[in-house]
Every structure is written in structure tokens, then in C-alpha cells.
Structure 1
Amino acid sequence: MKTWNQLFIRQGFMLEEKSPNEFICANERKENAEFLLKRLDMANVDYTFCDDVLTIASPPISEKQWLEAVEFYQRGVWEAIGVAEPKVFELDTYMSGVIRELNRLGLRTVSCCDGHDQRRPYVSFDGQTNMEKVMQLFHALQVHVRLRPSRFPEVVFLTKRERLLDLAEQMRKVQIDWLEQGEAYIRKMLFLYELEELLGVSGESGNEHHIRSVVYEKLEPYVDHITIDRYGNLLAQKTYKSGNGPTILLNAHLDTVESFAPGRTIVKQGAIWSSSEGILGADDRAGVAVLLEIAKWLEASSFNGTVKFVFTVEEECGLVGASKLSEYFLWGVDAAIVVDRRGTGDIVTSCGTTQPFCDIRYGQFFEQVAYDAGLTGWKCTAGGSSDTRIWAQHGIQSVNLSVGYECEHTDDETLDIDACYETVRLIQAVFTHSRELSKTLRDVRMANREVVTVTWM
């Protein structure tokens, strides 16, 4: 269920959220504020409006109900051509949020259409708009678009119009000065925004329902199937392109070793984050953030294969969620990547010296990919217990990657956000080299068959 703030942002209303049910409308145009109040009336929402402050007494309604309330016959037919700041009701229902965000960022639009489920959505821009910035923004937001140069350059969205609502919500996070720094900077800043958001959601072992709901909502638009199993694990799957490539399991855990201290804040000292009180929870909120970023990136990537996402519960109290995972979900998995290791640069290939997680060639593949991508310091090593043990017990080639946290489970826990984002880049590079990955996995399988044959003889 979306919050009121999310529902408003996705339709393009520019309100300041004071609390989940209270909004300052002073910076919104009078016509837009009046339209908003009329649509709240249409949806039978209980509210008061006084001195530019909107206070809502009703719980949030579903987005389907909200879309029905804001829609009306021939909405958007004027297209706001040449209007410097188009009104919400002049814009198509699924495009209004995107258009208002583009104009907020100084990227002036002249017309648009959400496609009405009959053709591709598009936005046309003023001839003076810097289209390089526009394309960098959309690429950073990891949305698949195509540019049609003309007097009024047109960007066509190669996605369903429903995704435009998600895009508007993502765009609200972007600050104007980010556009001057380029695509890579915008991507990283959006990642850090989401990482901080996840670090704000508590959920100790056995009490993961809140963080699971947040991750579910964030992941759902990017996968084909998503569910929660009877033990509370969040499972999802997505097939990319023809699906002829490898099937990769991506895993992080939802629980923290204890709940977050009430009212704590994130202390930021350069690239090092910590908690003002109690644990930070980067073990394993950082891993969760990395996998959500990969889910977004994969949509517009060249990867041809299948990815299965597993966000487990009760990892901190004995790998409980992973141990109880139904075996059918692991059928067909060629390899696993777990993101739940302290420090930087570790490619964990075994639990101590007693349990190997993979053939060393699988670990060495990650070393080579990191080296080729200019990511220094990544090396195979032994490590401790993690969900990786469970996947290895199922015969899956598995590694556990560092994600930048230190002193986990203590009040001295820290997170190196640069190291955390480097893990994102490494996994992206692995998927970019999926053909080489498939070859490595074939070599491992062939070698194992030879060993079995020799042993049997």
C-alpha cells in the first residue's frame, strides 16, 4: 500500500510532507491544490484544509482507487504545449508526475502522452533543453528510453505506462545540482538515498515484517513473480530476454541482530556511516540495497538469463530462513551470489577450512572480472557462516561478497558507502560477462564429472 505522500508524488503534486497525514501546500499552484482537494472529495477522503495545510484523517487508499479519482474524460488533451509550468490536470494521468519532475529539474517539456495503453509513452522537450542531461538522467534512473532528435526532441519510453508512476517517485529524489555531475554520480546518489531509507527500517530476527514489506514494494516492479513463503522469506524471479543464459541466485538477509534504537540518526563522516546509538544495521541492509540496485539495473542491461532473488529471514539466529527454503525454488540455479560479508574486497569461497562454497574457478572468475573492470583488491578468501553455506549444501556454486560494513553486531558498526557501491559495480560486471560465467560453470561441471568418473572406476 502506498502512503499518501507516494500517491501525491506519483501524480505530480508538489507538497511538503510534515507527517504521514499532514502536508504543506504553500509551494503548490492554486489550481493544482484545488484539483487535489476535488479529487480527495471524489475518493471520499476525510480531510481538512486550512492556511495551506492539508491534514488527512483517512488511511491511504489503494493506487487503483486514487487513479480512478484523478482521472476524468479527456484529461490531458491540451498537452500543455508551450506552458512553462503545466498544471496537473492538463497532463495525462500516468505522465503528470514525470512531467512535473522534469520541469522541477529545469528540463523544460512542451508536450507529452502516456500512450493510453495503445502506443509508447513520450515526452517532447523545448528546443533549448539540454538533451544530454535528459538522457543522462533517464539512464541513471535505469529506464529504457529512445531519443528522437527534432526541433522539439522527443523521448520515447520503451516501457509500460504504469512504470511511469514509479519513475516519477524515483525522480523526486533527484536534486538539481546532481545533473551537473553526470550519469554515474546520479546513479550513486540514488543508490545512497535508498540505502539510507533501508537503514531507517528496523527489523530484528523474527520481526522482519516491516522491512519485508518495504523490500517487496521496491522489488515488485522489476520482477516477473514475487511471493513470501510460509517461513517469511521473500522470493522473486525475473527472466531477461530469451532466458537462454545462466540462472543466478542473488541473496541477502532481511533481519538484523537486534532492533534499531528509537530516534537514532545516521552519522555521516565522509564515506563512513555509523549510528548515533546502537547498531547501524548495515549487516545486512547494505546487501539488501545492493540487490535492489541490481534488480533495477538488470532491466535495461544486456543480460540474457534468469535471476532468482532470495531475501531471507532469521539469518542472524542460525540461517533459519535459508535452511527452510523450499528446495523447488533452487531447481535450475547455476550459481549463487550472496552479499553479506564484512570489509572490502573479499570473495568468500569457503566457511573456514571445513566447507567449500564453490570450485575455486568460480571464485577466480570474480577476481578476473573485478580486475578487468578496474576494481582493485578483490580476492578469494575463507570466511564465516552465512546463507552461502545453505546454497553450497545444495550443490550450487556460491560466493559471499564484501559489502563494506565493519564491527557488525556492535554499537561501533560502520559502513564504507564507497565500498558498498563498488560491490554493485562488481555484480554488474559479472552479469555483463555472463557468457564467460556460463563457460566457467561448464568447465567446473565437466571437471566434477571427470572426478566422479575416475573415483567410480
Structure 2
Amino acid sequence: MKTWAQLFVRHGFKLEEQDAGVFDCRKETERNMTFLLECLEKGQANVNYVASLQELTITSEPLMEEKWISILNFKWRGRGEGLYFSAETEEPAICELDTFIAGIVRQLNRLGLHTNGSCDGHGRNAASISMLREDEVEVTTKILLAAGVKKVVTRGKNIRLLVSKREQLLDVAETLSVIQKDWLGEDVSYIRQQFFYQSLEELLSIDGCSGEEGAVREYILSKLHGLVDHVSVDHNGNVLSQKTYGSGTGPTLLLNAHMDTVDCFAPGRVIVKKGAEWSSSEGILGADDRAGVAVVLAMADWLEGTRFNGKVKYIFTVEEEVGLVGASGVHNYFLWDVDAAIVVDRRGTGDIVVSCGGYLPFCHEKYGEFLESVAVLKGLEGWKTTAGGSSDTRVWAEHGIQSVNLSVGYQGEHTDREILDVEACYKTLKLVQGVFQESRELQRVLRRIKMLETMKRRGTRLVDKEIK
């Protein structure tokens, strides 16, 4: 369920949350506030609020977004847009904008990118935005791509936004709300990296030690909504989800991180940022394994716009810190077709963990070598296979899945000296993306491994070069 703050941003209202349920209204126009209060009044059976000229206080739980949309919508909404305001000097009236694109228009306006027309496609056509000035089309296109629009088509001052369903336009508006004006001169990769850091900070702000993962689980479920084909919570509390990309004829890969932290967060602690190094003002930071969760969620979003052909299963486990409890409880039926797993739950930088202590292998050496080669190919230095400790990786390996555990940038885990190198964390994301970009080669490697292991079981010698 979205918060009131999210609902306001996604649907175009410029209200700043000062405290829980208390919003500063001074940046919103009188006309838009009148429309908002009318909509809240329509939902009065479910919404308790107090409004003044400067402040809005809502004391009830937020409405489901579907209900909120039904209240915001009215016949002929969006007709006549642009007839009553000058986009460069005045704020548009939300009631004159199409329901699903109002949030995007208001965020572009906030960034100084002015529109004089828009359409959400009405569920039949592509959404579109018309810019007031042609010289703003390029930067607008850039930030729309960075914010999650998978493809844009421009013609003169007109920009068409190609999304699979118009509800995704609301997600784009929420993402755009994070962008700062000084980012507009940067490239798409820089902006996406800032989005990743924002998600990482959100996860590090959600408490949830072993057995108390409810809040982070709800966050994960909200982020997976619309990105996967199926998602469920099993009897242990693990989040299990999957998505088929393309025709699904390629490999089936598992991406995994755990939701719990070894301790609860210290009350009132804050995240201390010193450049790329983040730590906690008191107690643990929780990067073990919220950093891994951030990487896996970022992959679910990133894969939407790629040509990967195969299936991905996303598992977020509970109680990893107290004995791999969640992973051990995942039913075999969810794992039976998985070809390879990537776990993101290793301290430091550059480790591709392929065994527990060097005596319990997680994978065939060729799988680890493949990841090393991807790192080299993508210009990511320092990644090497190594032995490591126990993790959920051990459970997947016991199911016969080729598995590795990747460093995600934290050090000093389980102590109040825990730190996270956020740039190293982002490089882990780039490595995992590289694995999927090289999925055809991965499929060949996995076939070789199966052939070698079959020959080994049969006691037949096979010279490796014969199957290259």
C-alpha cells in the first residue's frame, strides 16, 4: 500500500511531508489544493483530515491507490489542458491533466522543464508530452529514460512514452521526484546510480532483525509490484517471486538476498555519509544484507528493459543470520528448474565465493571462472573466486544449483563499526547486470558443466577442450 506522501507525488500534488501525516501546502496552488480537498471529501468515509491555508493533516490510513484513482477521475478530465495557463509562469491545474500523467508533468515543471500538452494514452495509445521549447526535449528524454520509461520516441517538441501499461507512469512520477536540478547536466548512468543510492538509503532505514522482517518484506513487495509475474510469501515469511523474460527459453537464474539484520537498529540512529562510505551513528548499519536486497530489487527493475531471454526467480529470505532458517524452508518445487544462483551477501569487494571454507563447493569451477570473465569484459577490476563462509548460498548448492556469493561492499558487519562502500555496492550491481547481458555464454558454460558432471558420474574421462 502506498503512503499518502507517495499518492500525492504520484498524482501530481506538491505537498511536502513535515511529520507523519502532516503536509506543508505552501508550494501548491490554491486551485490544486481546492481540487485535493474536494477529492479527500469524496473519500470522507475513509479519510479524516484537517486543512488550513498552509498545512494539511491526515490522521487516517491511506486509501488503496485504485480507490484514490477512482476519486481523482471524472468524465472528460484532461480536456482543455493548456488553454488556461502559461506553462513557463504558472503551475498547471491537476484537474486539467490526464489522471496517469499529472505526476510526471508536475515533476518536469518542478525541474524547470515546461510542457504545454500531455496525454496518458487513455489505455489505448502511447502516453505523450509536448514540450514548450524544443531545446528541452533532449534533457527531458534523458531523465524519463533514467526514471524508468523503457523507450521514448521524439518528434519536434513531442515526446511519446512507451510503457507496457499506463499505471507505470505513476511509478515514473515517483522516481522523478527524487531528481535534483543539478543532476540535469549528468548522463543517464549517473542519474540511475543516484536512484540506486536512494533505494539503498530507504532499505537501511527500515528496521528488521531476525524474526521481525515484516516492514522490509512489505517494502520489497511494494517494489516488486508490476515487475514480476508472480509473487508470494511462503509459510516461513520468505518472499518468492518469478518473472519470465522474452520467450523464456534461456537459463533459469536465482537472485537472492536475506531480509534480516543480526540486531535491531539503535533507536534514533542516523546514517552517516562520508563520501562513498556510509556508517551508522550508533549500532549496526544493516548493510548485511540490505545492500544485497537493494541490488536484487534494482535487477528486477533493470531487467524490464533488456533483451534477456529466460526466467528469473527472486528469493528474499528470513532469519539467515540465525542459521539459514528461511532458505532451508524454501520448498524444492520452487527450485527444481533453477540452473544457477547469484547470492548478494558477502563482505568486502571483489569476492566471488565459490565454496564454504574451501571444503564444501558451491559450484563447478567453470561457473566461478565465467563470473571472473564477465568482470573483465565489463571493466570491473579486482573480482576473483575465493572460499568464504556459510550463507544462503550453501542451501542452494545443496539443491544441486550452481551458486556463488558476491561481495556487496560492507565491512565490519555484526558490529557498530560496520561500514558500506556504496560505490562498491553499485559495482556489484553492474557485475550482476553483466552476467545477464552475457546470458548466452552463461548457458553454454552451464551446458559444459552438466556434461562434465555427467561424465564424472559415469566414470568417463573427457578432455575439457573437446567440449569447448
TM-score by length of 1: 0.97
**Map of 1:8 onto structure 2:** 8
Q: How far is 1:156 from its partner?
A: 2.6
Q: What is the aligned residue count?
A: 455
Q: How far is 1:384 from its partner?
A: 0.3
Q: Is the 8 A contact 2:149 2:161 kept in 1?
A: no
Whole-angstrom distance in 2 between the partners of 1:160 and 1:454: 54
User: Alpha-carbon deviations, 1:404-451, whole Å to 9, x = none?
Assistant: 000100000000001000001001111001000100101101111111
Q: How far is 1:130 from its partner?
A: 2.5
Whole-angstrom distance in 1 between the partners of 2:86 and 2:67: 29
- Does 1:68 find its partner at 2:70? yes
Structure 1: which 5+ runs fail to align? Answer: none
Whole-angstrom distance in 1 between the partners of 2:329 and 2:272: 36
- Which SS does the other structure have where 1:222 is aligned? coil
Q: How far is 1:454 from its partner?
A: 1.6
**Map of 1:103 onto structure 2:** 109
Q: How far is 1:373 from its partner?
A: 0.5
**Map of 1:24 onto structure 2:** 24
Which of 146, 152, 167 aligns to 1:146? It is 152
Which of 115, 128, 143 aligns to 2:121? It is 115
- Which SS does the other structure have where 2:387 is aligned? strand
Q: How far is 1:102 from its partner?
A: 1.3
Q: Aligned AA for 1:373?
A: K
Q: How far is 1:116 from its partner?
A: 1.4
Whole-angstrom distance in 1 between the partners of 2:305 and 2:82: 30
Q: Is the 8 A contact 1:5 1:20 kept in 2?
A: no
**Map of 1:224 onto structure 2:** 229
- Which SS does the other structure have where 1:74 is aligned? coil
- Does 1:398 find its partner at 2:427? no
Q: Is the 8 A contact 1:202 1:210 kept in 2?
A: yes
- Which SS does the other structure have where 1:227 is aligned? strand
Q: How far is 1:276 from its partner?
A: 0.1
**Map of 1:436 onto structure 2:** 441
- Does 1:93 find its partner at 2:99? yes
1:54-65 equivalent positions in 2, closer than 5 A: 54-65=56-67
Q: Is the 8 A contact 1:247 1:305 kept in 2?
A: yes
**Map of 1:345 onto structure 2:** 350
Q: CA RMSD in A?
A: 1.3
**Map of 2:466 onto structure 1:** none
User: Alpha-carbon deviations, 1:391-413, whole Å to 9, x = none?
Assistant: 00000000000000001000000
Whole-angstrom distance in 2 between the partners of 1:439 and 1:226: 29
Q: How far is 1:159 from its partner?
A: 2.2
Q: How far is 1:302 from its partner?
A: 1.5
User: Alpha-carbon deviations, 1:219-241, whole Å to 9, x = none?
Assistant: 12211111100110001111111
Q: How far is 1:368 from its partner?
A: 0.4
- Which SS does the other structure have where 2:226 is aligned? helix
Q: Is the 8 A contact 2:145 2:152 kept in 1?
A: no
Whole-angstrom distance in 2 between the partners of 1:417 and 1:241: 32
Whole-angstrom distance in 1 between the partners of 2:59 and 2:270: 29
Q: Aligned AA for 1:31?
A: R
Whole-angstrom distance in 2 between the partners of 1:33 and 1:198: 32
Whole-angstrom distance in 2 between the partners of 1:83 and 1:73: 24
- Which SS does the other structure have where 1:380 is aligned? strand
Whole-angstrom distance in 1 between the partners of 2:139 and 2:436: 27
Whole-angstrom distance in 2 between the partners of 1:302 and 1:319: 34
Q: Is the 8 A contact 1:126 1:153 kept in 2?
A: no
Which of 377, 382, 394 aligns to 1:389? It is 394
Whole-angstrom distance in 2 between the partners of 1:183 and 1:225: 30
Whole-angstrom distance in 1 between the partners of 2:365 and 2:266: 41
Whole-angstrom distance in 1 between the partners of 2:155 and 2:364: 50
Whole-angstrom distance in 2 between the partners of 1:243 and 1:176: 40
Whole-angstrom distance in 1 between the partners of 2:416 and 2:59: 39
1:302-313 equivalent positions in 2, closer than 5 A: 302-313=307-318
Q: Aligned AA for 2:155?
A: P
- Which SS does the other structure have where 1:401 is aligned? strand
**Map of 1:364 onto structure 2:** 369
- Which SS does the other structure have where 1:237 is aligned? strand
- Which SS does the other structure have where 1:223 is aligned? coil
Whole-angstrom distance in 2 between the partners of 1:12 and 1:167: 12
Q: How far is 1:455 from its partner?
A: 6.2
Whole-angstrom distance in 2 between the partners of 1:270 and 1:139: 27
Q: How far is 1:154 from its partner?
A: 2.0
1:166-245 equivalent positions in 2, closer than 5 A: 166-245=171-250
Q: Percent identity?
A: 53
Q: Is the 8 A contact 1:336 1:397 kept in 2?
A: yes
1:147-162 equivalent positions in 2, closer than 5 A: 147-150=153-156, 152-162=157-167
**Map of 2:465 onto structure 1:** none
**Map of 2:266 onto structure 1:** 261
Q: Aligned AA for 1:67?
A: I
Whole-angstrom distance in 1 between the partners of 2:371 and 2:147: 26
Q: Is the 8 A contact 2:242 2:311 kept in 1?
A: yes
1:368-383 equivalent positions in 2, closer than 5 A: 368-383=373-388
Task: Tell which deviates more after alignment, 341-350 or 86-95.
Answer: 86-95
Q: Is the 8 A contact 1:133 1:182 kept in 2?
A: no
TM-score by length of 2: 0.95
User: Alpha-carbon deviations, 1:155-175, whole Å to 9, x = none?
Assistant: 232320011111111111111
Which of 258, 264, 288 aligns to 2:293? It is 288
User: Alpha-carbon deviations, 1:137-182, whole Å to 9, x = none?
Assistant: 12222321221322x2222323200111111111111111111111
Whole-angstrom distance in 1 between the partners of 2:329 and 2:409: 28
**Map of 1:77 onto structure 2:** 79
Q: How far is 1:386 from its partner?
A: 0.3
